[in-house]
Amino acid sequence: MLPADAAAKARSTFDSGKTLPLAFRLERLRALLRAIERHEDALLGAMRQDLHKHPNEAFAELGLALSDLKHHLAHLADWAAPQRLPISKVLFPARAYVQHEPLGRVLIIGPWNYPALLVLHPLIGAVAAGNTVVVKPSELSPATSQAVEAVLRDAFGDDGHVSVVQGGVDVSTQLLAERWDHIFFTGSTQVGKVVMAAAAKHLTPVTLELGGKSPALIDDDVNLDVAAKRIAWSKTYNAGQTCVCVDYVLVHERHAAAFISKVKQAWLDFYGQDPKQSPDFSRIVTPRHAERLQRLMEGGTVAHGGQVDAAERYVAPTLLTDVKLDSPLMQEEIFGPLLPVIPVKSLDEAMAFVRARPKPLGLYVFTENDAHAERVFAQCPSGGAMQNDSIGQIATHSLPFGGVGDSGLGRYHGRHSFETFSNPKSVVRKPAFPDFFLRYAPLRRTPLALWRHIVG
């Protein structure tokens, strides 16, 4: 389907009013749930083809989407109900409430690193809120993009409620030229700026789920075995192609050598002597991205790993020391299994390092001292944060997920998804009588003291 045709069909379907009833939204969410379950094998196979994901790792995408779907189905009736609120004296007698209404036509542009989840997750909220949606999956994960299209066609048919447009940058450009009521983009900060500029032409609201360099701070008071294993996992889950994974480590200098040794051992335990042969280690999305990671290694000394086979899209889990802070390694989001390790003398030095850079999407502090963790969270802004682990802050419905500054704009997950794609309309319902004369001129009939009492 052409971008302009998809946009026009989405407008026509929304204007028909068919997506507004709660019963319709719930039925479509149930249909999506059933379609994901029917296409599970195809989706898992597609993610294996695109990113060499182990089925367990691939199912994590589907599991999070299914869990969010079930959460929406359980709570949508409550979220969508009018929320009665108190009124001020000046409005008496009246009643006031907030009614969430759909924004209209939504454009979702998905990424390649989690090509199923990061299309389905925002789509759930957009459908729950009563919108029509055009989805543009990533061209860099073609097998999964086709499998997702099959799921959505199965669930929604061809009535303009949810449409899929496949293609590359030219297609995204054409879609962004259309007028939308909300744009949801997941990807790099650089492309996020392009999306926001296009949206500004129509004053279209945006949600930008971006990335950045999410640091891990290792305190002097730390369980180093746990810290090393969890950071090693974070950096190689999906081959490090996760927006909230640990990008680099600031470790107390007393623990630096031991930390490096323990990360090496963890990777050996996870993937064996040759991770390239491991069925559990994912691949980089394209040869070009693998070559980029190889160039980033020039920003430090390889202390472990470093092997690259760009044609096979393989980059080994790699530790980097003697890091050059002005190199691309420390200026760009890595988005791969490279882990720069930077010794610091204190937690205060680590916090100053983080505050001197753009606000990260994730912030991780490994410490047994809760007061130290609280100080880091209070003094270092970030989209989300964890103590003694990473990535997991995205995996619960109750927490809003999103970035701040360069790492993103807006929040979603659970109820926050429904609210992102809704307009919280303020409604006041007031009877025709009584009609108090005090509001009308001539105002001299009302003493100022009485007016203060009414209005204040």
Contact between 418 and 128 under an 8 Å Cβ cutoff? The reply is: yes
Cβ atoms of residues 129 and 418 within 8 Å: yes
In angstroms, the first-to-last Cα distance of the chain is: 57
| Sequence-ordered list of residues with C-beta below 8 angstroms from that of 437, at least 6 positions apart, any chain | 445
Helices (H) and strands (E) in the chain, counts: 16, 18
Q: What is the DSSP letter of 313?
A: T
- Cβ–Cβ under 8 Å, residues 125 and 414: no
Q: Name the region of 318 (left: φ>0; alpha: ψ -120 to 50; beta: rest).
A: beta
Which residue among 243, 332, 333, 380 is the active-site one?
243
- Locus of tokens 């997920």: 401
Total residue count of the chain as it appears in this document: 456
Evaluate whether 258 touches 223 at the Cβ level (below 8 Å).
no
User: Is 243 in the active site?
Assistant: yes
What is the C-alpha separation between 13 and 397, in angstroms, rounded? 30
- Please give the Cα distance from 65 to 58 (Å, whole number): 12
Q: Is 209 a catalytic residue?
A: yes
Q: Report residue 329 CA to chain centroid gap.
A: 23
The single residue of 57, 178, 209, 332 carrying the catalytic annotation is 209
DSSP notation for 70-95: HHHHHHHHHHHS-EEE---GGG-S-E
CA 28/CA 215 separation, integer angstroms: 40
- The label of the residue with tokens 């809120």 reads 129
- Write out the catalytic residue numbers: 209, 243
